[in-house]
Amino acid sequence: MSELKEPRDLTLEQAVGQILRSLRKDRGLKQVEVSVATGFGLRSIRTMEQGKQSMTIRSLDALATYYRIPLEEIIRQAKLLRDRPM
């Protein structure tokens, strides 16, 4: 995760977005592939990964299901990323 922002600069939305981006890249997927598979628009995938869009629980759950990771794990990882000490 070399492209991560400094934790104190992250909002929770940005941290979740970075986790989602990492999950996608770890699987060798492109944003368009996630868009087609999940039914979310490509612009929505981009803005979610950039942390520019707050997600509904339903949206985040759909992505968690797609990536086969528990919803709680995405939130846990995002909070750890956001709150990690410098």
Q: Residue 3: inside a domain, yes or no?
A: no
The dihedral over CA atoms of 11, 26, 72, 82, expressed in degrees to the nearest 10, equals -20
pLDDT at 46: 97
In DSSP notation, 8-53 reads GG--HHHHHHHHHHHHHHHTT--HHHHHHHH---HHHHHHHHHT-S
Residues 28-83 have pLDDT tens digits of: 999 999 999 999 999 999 999 999 988 999 999 999 999 999 999 999 999 999 99
Given a cut of 70, is residue 24 above it in pLDDT? yes
Total tally of structural domains belonging to the chain? 1
Q: Residue 51: inside a domain, yes or no?
A: yes
pLDDT at 4: 58
Which range marks the domain in which residue 78 is found?
A: 9-83
Q: Residue 4: inside a domain, yes or no?
A: no
Compute the average pLDDT of residues 9-16: 92
